[in-house]
């Protein structure tokens, strides 16, 4: 048994016994050394050297001074959380704007050197500094969004993804996202009506209690009034909520160009399909929502998030795509927010641009993010309760200062969005297979006690000879693991016995020394008084 201890067990035993050995006297050292040698199988001189050696922490190797130190990394984590955990390339484009906005509203106070390094940091360095943060924050993979579409034939022209040719702002792709909880079942579920501008990436999301052409027209009219540019065209799939007479007549009467994608060709609507995952699923998740109360809760989330997404979330835009055989090379423009693309467009009036700039200066990205988290919490409660908000749970408003202080350590808790928290799983504490050594384990323990040096393979050969029909050779690895665990437990028991025996011996010697010690005349005041 003594020579079958693993290196980890020997190291733990050395650390536990070494400190006690170095503080003991000669007789105690002899007793500890005898049992240590018997347990580990070390040579006596080697065991003395091992127990007398003090473990020292490894010295740090000198190296170049880091440019992006812990202070820069802590500020970068806060900015990443305030940007809703976007990628490094998008975050690099947003950092100057985010620093100015958070500083202007009193949420961020950075030293001049830290501010300068954050503005000069590259996207690759951002990803490197946030690698372990992302690994801990994102514990699971997201499911792919599933779409629904039925091909119908209408008198609406088809437009593919190659037919846009850099249009003016105002041409929007529209689509539905159904919140049915994954598996499609019968019933009406809440839908998200998503509208994305091709030129600027401006995105509007609205909540609908069910799929309806009448609600589509109502939402289109609301969005056309809120857009910073005129609505020029709509591109949709072949859903019956879009391909109907009411929508067709509305577009014809208002001068809106109506086009549709090819059946079962999702890439024709690549812009809005990308927003379905990057915005809708990122905000709402994959829970099941049903009813008017859940629709109102989702609408309140979209009301807050539209400002955060369009004013503070940079996005990529495809610049060129070339094919070399089977290899496709894509090049993208620098990440910009939809607001920045609107301000750079020559077709937008200057009065509209001035109004957007004034609106941007009044917005606090951190306050918007906090309100988004609170709205997501309410959406998560609706999803958990089957679509009806719980009356017992009320979302408490977190103070903005507390929310800001939590951004630096939020990544340590993993997923922070309430709509993406996984359900608690039942711990697996039961056996899935029968224990092959349940009846023979007492006999095996008896053999181990009698012959400590016997191997698991020798034990298995004995068992095979005793019951050849029960043990066929496939349980050897299982027996090896059980024998290893048994020996480790016995080693720990021996260490505990050594340590407790040494403590009892020290206490016994101390009591004996106290009893033999004579009383001092200086302290014996009663004797002094009687003599006087």
Contact 290, 208 (CB under 8 A): no
With bands split at pLDDT 50, 70 and 90, how would you rate the model's confidence at 521? very low
446-460 core/surface letters (b: 16 or more CB in 10 A; e: else):
eebeeeeebebeebb
Lowest mean pLDDT among 5-9, 235-239, 347-351: 5-9
100 vs 16: which has the higher pLDDT: 100
428 vs 67: which has the higher pLDDT: 67
Give residue-wise pLDDT tens across range 140-188.
555 444 333 333 455 788 888 888 888 999 999 999 999 888 776 667 8
pLDDT of residue 523: 43
Find residue 332's DSSP bridge partners: 318
Query: Of 127, 93, 102, 78, nearest to 314 (Cα)?
Result: 93
Contact 395, 377 (CB under 8 A): yes
Q: Is the pLDDT of residue 10 over 80?
A: no
Q: Is the pLDDT of residue 59 over 80?
A: no
Q: Which residues contact 148 (CB under 8 A, 6 or more apart)?
A: 176, 178, 184, 239
- Over range 292-313, report the average pLDDT: 93
Sheet containing 171-178: give its strands across: 203-208, 191-197, 171-178, 233-236, 257-260
Query: Of 41, 53, 38, nearest to 6 (Cα)?
Result: 41
pLDDT of residue 54: 66
Q: Is the pLDDT of residue 406 over 70?
A: yes
* CA atoms of 331 and 384, how far apart (whole Å): 42
- Over range 352-359, report the average pLDDT: 95
Q: Which residues contact 66 (CB under 8 A, 6 or more apart)?
A: none
Q: Domain 171-420, CATH 3.30.420.10 — does that match?
A: yes
* CA atoms of 458 and 444, how far apart (whole Å): 11
Backbone angle region of 106, left / alpha / beta, with phi > 0 → left and psi within -120 to 50 → alpha: left
With bands split at pLDDT 50, 70 and 90, how would you rate the model's confidence at 396? low
Query: Of 167, 171, 174, 160, nearest to 243 (Cα)?
Result: 174
With bands split at pLDDT 50, 70 and 90, how would you rate the model's confidence at 125? very high
Lowest mean pLDDT among 15-24, 156-165, 315-324, 417-426: 417-426
302 vs 470: which has the higher pLDDT: 302
pTM (predicted TM-score): 0.62
Q: Is the pLDDT of residue 368 over 90?
A: yes
* CA atoms of 228 and 215, how far apart (whole Å): 22
Contact 227, 213 (CB under 8 A): no
Give residue-wise pLDDT tens across range 240-280.
888 888 888 888 899 999 999 888 888 899 899 999 999 99
pLDDT of residue 53: 77
Burial class for 341, CB neighbours closer than 10 Å (0-12, 13-18, 19+)? buried
Question: Residue 218 corresponds to which tokens in the numbers above?
Answer: 């109502």
Indicate the average pLDDT of the chain. 82
The CATH 3.30.420.10 domain(s) of the chain lie at 171-420
* Ordered alpha helix ranges (H), 83-212: 88-104, 112-120, 123-129, 131-137
């Amino acid at each position: 048994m003594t020579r079958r201890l693993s290196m980890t067990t020997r190291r733990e035993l050395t650390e536990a016994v070494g400190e006690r050995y170095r503080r003991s006297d000669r007789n105690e050292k002899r007793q500890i050394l005898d049992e240590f040698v018997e347990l580990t199988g070390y040579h006596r001189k080697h065991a003395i050297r091992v127990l007398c050696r003090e473990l020292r922490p490894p010295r740090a190797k000198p190296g170049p001074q880091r440019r992006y130190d812990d202070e820069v990394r802590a500020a970068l984590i806060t900015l990443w959380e305030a940007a809703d955990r976007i990628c490094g390339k998008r975050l690099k484009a947003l950092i100057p704007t985010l620093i100015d906005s958070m500083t202007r509203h009193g949420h961020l106070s950075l030293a001049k050197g830290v501010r300068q390094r954050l503005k000069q940091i590259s996207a690759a360095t951002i990803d490197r500094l946030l690698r372990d943060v992302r690994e801990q924050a994102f514990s699971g993979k997201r499911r792919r969004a599933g779409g629904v579409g039925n091909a119908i034939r209408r008198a609406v022209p088809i437009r593919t993804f190659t037919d846009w040719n850099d249009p003016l702002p105002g041409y929007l792709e529209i689509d539905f996202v159904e919140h049915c909880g994954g598996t499609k079942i019968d019933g009406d579920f809440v839908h998200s009506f998503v509208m994305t501008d091709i030129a600027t990436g401006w995105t509007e999301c609205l909540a609908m209690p069910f799929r309806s052409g009448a609600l589509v027209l109502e939402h289109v009219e609301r969005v056309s009034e809120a857009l910073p540019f005129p609505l020029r065209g709509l591109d949709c799939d072949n859903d019956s909520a879009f391909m109907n007479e009411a929508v067709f007549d509305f577009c014809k009467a208002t001068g809106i160009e109506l086009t549709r994608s090819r059946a079962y060709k999702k890439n024709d609507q690549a812009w809005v399909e990308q927003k379905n995952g990057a915005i809708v699923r990122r905000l709402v998740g994959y829970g099941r929502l049903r009813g008017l109360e859940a629709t109102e809760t989702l609408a309140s989330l979209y009301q807050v998030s539209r400002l955060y997404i369009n004013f503070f979330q940079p996005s990529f835009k495809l610049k060129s795509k070339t094919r070399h055989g089977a290899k496709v090379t894509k090049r993208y423009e620098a990440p910009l927010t939809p607001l920045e693309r609107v301000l750079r467009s020559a077709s937008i009036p200057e009065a509209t641009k001035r109004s957007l700039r004034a609106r941007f200066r009044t917005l606090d990205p951190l306050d918007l993010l906090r309100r988004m988290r609170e709205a997501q919490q309410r959406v998560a409660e609706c999803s958990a309760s089957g679509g009806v908000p719980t009356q017992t749970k009320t979302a408490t408003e977190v103070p903005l200062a507390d929310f800001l202080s939590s951004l630096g350590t939020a990544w340590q808790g993993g997923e922070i969005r309430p709509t993406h928290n996984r359900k608690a799983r039942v711990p697996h504490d039961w056996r899935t297979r029968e224990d092959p050594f349940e009846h023979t384990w007492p006999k095996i323990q008896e053999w181990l006690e009698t012959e400590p040096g016997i191997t698991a393979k020798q034990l298995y050969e004995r068992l095979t000879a005793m019951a050849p029909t029960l043990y066929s050779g496939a349980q050897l690895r299982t027996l090896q693991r059980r024998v290893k665990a048994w020996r480790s437990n016995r080693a720990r028991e021996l260490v505990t016995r050594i340590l407790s025996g040494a403590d009892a011996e020290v206490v016994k010697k101390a009591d004996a020394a106290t009893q033999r010690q004579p009383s001092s005349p200086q302290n014996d005041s009663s004797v002094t008084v009687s003599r006087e």
